Amino acid sequence: MTRHALATALALLFLAGPPALAQESPVAETITFVVSTGFWEEPVEAEEDDAAATEPETTETAEPAALRRGYYKLIAVHQPDGTAEIHLQQIEATAGGPKIASSTVLEEFSTMKPYVTDIRPENSTGITTQPGLFATVYLKTDPKTLEPESWTVLIDDLGEIKVERATN
């Protein structure tokens, strides 16, 4: 009788399907740090067909240009050798939700083969009053080193990206 009860219990477990914990996470296990901070905005590029159909603008017909807006993400992605790649993304705020406008690997970090220990925005809220980004990446080039180095990622209001060792 105990074999029959055990077989029935096992059959019910298999029929129940996989546990809820087996669902795939929207965030990969290899992402170790993410910081969303700063903001950007740029004029919406009008399509050429629309531009040809419009009349020349005068001071009475001129309307303010529509703007695309969004924020930045700085992401540390764990690599198989234990180091990290640092990705910079521009996220556009759209009516349908956030959308990746651009994404790039910051090669200045890739050449160092860093072990990233933290990424922090300029302030604890992540909110800035001027366009651009300022964040600090804490990293070690040798995992046995006790104290990490500080590197800044700066994007100015024109979109120019600078990566440099932090100076205090």
For the stretch 81-113, pLDDT in tens is 999 999 999 999 999 999 999 999 999 999 999
Nearest-angstrom CA–CA distance, 152 and 116: 13
Classify the phi-psi angles of 126: left when phi > 0, otherwise alpha if psi is within -120 to 50, otherwise beta: left
Q: Are the C-beta atoms of residues 108 and 120 closer than 8 Å to each other? A: no
Q: What is the mean pLDDT of residues 137-142?
A: 96
Q: In the chain, how many domains are there?
A: 1
Domain membership flag for residue 48: no
Predicted confidence band of residue 58 (pLDDT cuts 50, 70, 90): low
Instruction: Examine the pLDDT at 64 and tell me if it is beyond 70.
Output: no
125 is in which domain, residue-wise?
Answer: 28-42+65-168
Among 8-17, 36-45, 94-103, 131-140, whose mean pLDDT is lowest? 8-17
Partner residues linked to 89 by β-bridges:
73, 103
In a domain, 109, yes or no: yes
Residue 157 reports pLDDT greater than 70: yes
